[in-house]
Structure 1
Amino acid sequence: MPRSIKKKEKKLGIKQKLLFEELQEKIGITFTDESMLIQAFTHSSYVNEHRIKPSEDNERLEFLGDAVLELTVSQFLFKNYPSMTEGDLTKLRAAIVCEPSLVNFAHQLSFGTYVLLGKGEELTGGRERPALLADVFEAFIGALYLDQGLDKVVGFLEKVVYPKISEGAFSHVMDYKSQLQEIVQRNGQGSIEYLIVQEKGPAHNREFVSKVTLNAEILGLGVGKSKKEAEQKAAQQALEKLKSEKQK
């Protein structure tokens, strides 16, 4: 074991060691190299205060974890949203891996409890600081990847992140047509079709009426200043109809 890691472990009290054991039990993952897990939760303020090598904080793991998250989330979206365009996939991925989302995931797992902080950072509320929590989540992903590989990372995300996507937690960044398409495909309900059924008004102030059908049954109607807007509103109405039917 590297001398710097040994130093770090000597600095850990019994309470801190027990906390890392508790964390592994909570997430259902036992690290082969526990020092990797400890490093993921080691903030630079702790390193500076305890005179550990700067390379022993979690910043390099954060860099790696960011890339691993981008890859694994991209793979999930690519497989599960086959009708979504490249632009929409990019927007959705950005919403999933952005700081506020990572903070929510970190809170969900109480990651703030386990961070090793310097006294100054602790006193100024660092344990709850959003940027710090997002960094810790990324560092944890990086550490898990190095310790146990990509499949283990995917297994972890299948419990923590992917269900949130499937439940629609990020649907605000998906357009209504994409959402409707994914629901219909996921449930194997058939095929949807959009049709402009009416155009009205003068050329400079045109309005379009669109209908969306599922297996020839009208699901929604929408009115807009463009065909695209009318189709989006028709899809929105269709989603509301499907949602209300599901709740019955």
Structure 2
Amino acid sequence: MADRITHPFQNPELLQQALRHRSAGAPHNERLEFLGDALVNLVVAEALHQRWPKADEGTLTRARASLVRESALAELARRLELGARIELGPGELKSGGHRRDSILADALEAVVAAIHLDAGFEACRRVVLPWFEAMIAELPEGKADKDPKTRLQEWLQGRQLPRPSYRLVDTRGDDHARIFQVSCETSEPALAEQAEASSLRVAEQLAAERLLARLEKK
């Protein structure tokens, strides 16, 4: 895995902590995750600011959000093969926690923080920025897709239809591994789609995306 991360740790204990979920006991990776979240946002924001000199703040903000969202970070974690190396407690291990987007994304952020603490920000940026290169290159230059909730609302408003509504259908799982099931509904036309995710926001976005896809096919 060190080869995947491409950073030789001077203090391997930092990496061990970054890959230890709180269900496995202390010291776990939550404090590192907090720092890593800020570092990932900074690295990505700086890259977009430099590469898109004519993009306005809104475009940059949407682009950054698409790159650092939970599902995107989880996919990067899978490419780095972090899942198999995350230390989990028995309950999380049994429920397949090493495959869960929230756990993978948190571990990735914690690893970023561990690199920063081990070698400083410049080294961290050199290691982390290439992880995002492909995703940045795939974005239309100077543009970024609006999130699904915004696109759905604009689609409906453009046809003078009522705004969609979101309803929490169910929640399950322990506090640290909560799963939210959400329904996105429209009254005109009367349609609904459901989705579930490890955060309420992500579940709403997924449900909105599915509903918009149905509407666009009509």
TM class by shorter-chain length? Answer: 0.5 to 0.7
2:152 maps to none
2:106 maps to 135
TM-score using structure 2 length: 0.63
CA distance in 1, matches of 2:141, 2:100: 23
Equivalent position to 1:157, from 115, 123, 128: 128
CA distance in 1, matches of 2:70, 2:109: 10
Letter of the 1:137 partner, please give it: L
CA offset digits 1:98-147 (Å, max 9, x no partner): 10110111111111011001111100110101100010011011111111
1:194 maps to none
The answer on 1:32 being equivalent to 2:3 is no
Specify which structure has the bigger relative contact order, considering alpha-carbon pairs within 8 angstroms and separated by 6 or more residues.
2
CA distance in 1, matches of 2:88, 2:142: 36
CA distance in 2, matches of 1:106, 1:171: 26
Computing the radius of gyration over CA atoms, which structure comes out larger, 1 or 2? 1
TM-score using structure 1 length: 0.56
In structure 2, do the counterparts of structure 1 residues 85 and 170 end up closer, same or farther at CA, with 3 Å as the change threshold? closer
In structure 2, do the counterparts of structure 1 residues 172 and 87 end up closer, same or farther at CA, with 3 Å as the change threshold? closer
CA distance in 2, matches of 1:98, 1:140: 16
Unaligned runs of 5+ in 1: 1-22, 48-53, 176-248
Letter of the 2:74 partner, please give it: V
CA distance in 1, matches of 2:105, 2:142: 21
Q: Which secondary structure does the structure 2 equivalent of 1:161 belong to? A: helix
- After superposition, where does 1:93-112 map in structure 2 within 5 Å? 93-112=64-83
The answer on 1:79 being equivalent to 2:50 is yes
CA distance in 2, matches of 1:30, 1:169: 34
- How far the C-alpha of 1:172 sits from its partner, in A, is 7.6
Q: Which secondary structure does the structure 2 equivalent of 1:173 belong to? A: coil
More helix by share: 1
- How far the C-alpha of 1:170 sits from its partner, in A, is 9.4
Number of aligned residue pairs: give it.
Answer: 146
